[in-house]
A = this chain, B = another copy of it.
């Protein structure tokens, strides 16, 4: 190389330079935390595990784990979810990354939060670990680490997302009544909805397939059962304005 490099040329770093720069930088531990929402008994739930850190004994925490060396972030989230719930065929979305210096008592751990919606009916048998528990959304208070903040952020995001896309279906059994669907939306958004307008809106969306079946074991007129037409929804190109309530 020339002696008379310009400033512009001076700033160029070779691979080795960059490598040693990156290698010598302070590195952080990286984890993923999953906020797993479910729906049961007309209540929105979140799946929590008892903290395994003595310092937080008795407190609840999100399902998290350190990211493996050769694992992408999404990959890690899917792995953790699979390990804990048994399934991987579900909606999973990155929410936010939390990196306050002191957020973990032992060391600097930056965590990437993921949010997931699962159908409790389909997954309930997989929860063998009795340190796991479905909590009612409104009973979540103190949590280990900064997990309450992560939960709050994820719940807000869920509320927002559910108004933009018909995601709620993934929380329901394959066949559901419109009442169940409405209960779900009311639970997520924490508002009351008008039954007729709600039905009108979802029928107009045209993603519901009438199963020609009705509920059983209800002590009153049973509702018709529907399933969500995921294929049609995925293919629909018409601009999606979200679901106003």
Residues of B with C-beta under 8 A to A8: 50, 130-131
Given A19-B107, A53-B13, A55-B15, A112 and B99 touching (CB < 8 A)?
A: yes
Given A8-B130, A70-B101, A131-B11, A106 and B26 touching (CB < 8 A)?
A: no
Residues of B with C-beta under 8 A to A108: 69
20 pairs, A vs B, C-beta closer than 8 Å: A8-B50, A12-B53, A13-B52, A14-B54, A15-B53, A15-B54, A15-B55, A18-B105, A18-B106, A22-B109, A23-B107, A26-B66, A27-B28, A28-B30, A28-B67, A70-B101, A73-B97, A97-B112, A99-B112, A241-B244
> Does A232 belong to the interface (CB within 8 Å)?
no
A164 to chain B, nearest CB (A): 9
> Does A5 belong to the interface (CB within 8 Å)?
no
> Does A104 belong to the interface (CB within 8 Å)?
yes
* A105-126 near B? 1/0 per residue, CB < 8 Å: 1111110100000000000000
| Copies of this chain present | 2
Known interface pairs A13-B53, A28-B30, A73-B110; 6 further A-B residue pairs with C-beta atoms within 8 A, sorted by A's residue number: A19-B106, A22-B66, A25-B66, A30-B110, A73-B99, A73-B100
> Does A218 belong to the interface (CB within 8 Å)?
no
Cα(A110)–Cα(B74), bound, Å: 13
> Which residue of B is nearest A51, CB measured?
B12
A84 to chain B, nearest CB (A): 14
Set B96, B109, B244: member contacting A94, Cβ < 8 A: B96
> Does A215 belong to the interface (CB within 8 Å)?
no
Give the interface size bracket for A toward B: 35 or more
User: Does the CB pair A97–B94 fall under 8 Å?
Assistant: yes
Cα(A190)–Cα(B194), bound, Å: 37
> Does A57 belong to the interface (CB within 8 Å)?
yes
Cα(A98)–Cα(B96), bound, Å: 11
> Which residue of B is nearest A24, CB measured?
B29
Cα(A169)–Cα(B18), bound, Å: 38
> Does A68 belong to the interface (CB within 8 Å)?
yes
A100 to chain B, nearest CB (A): 5
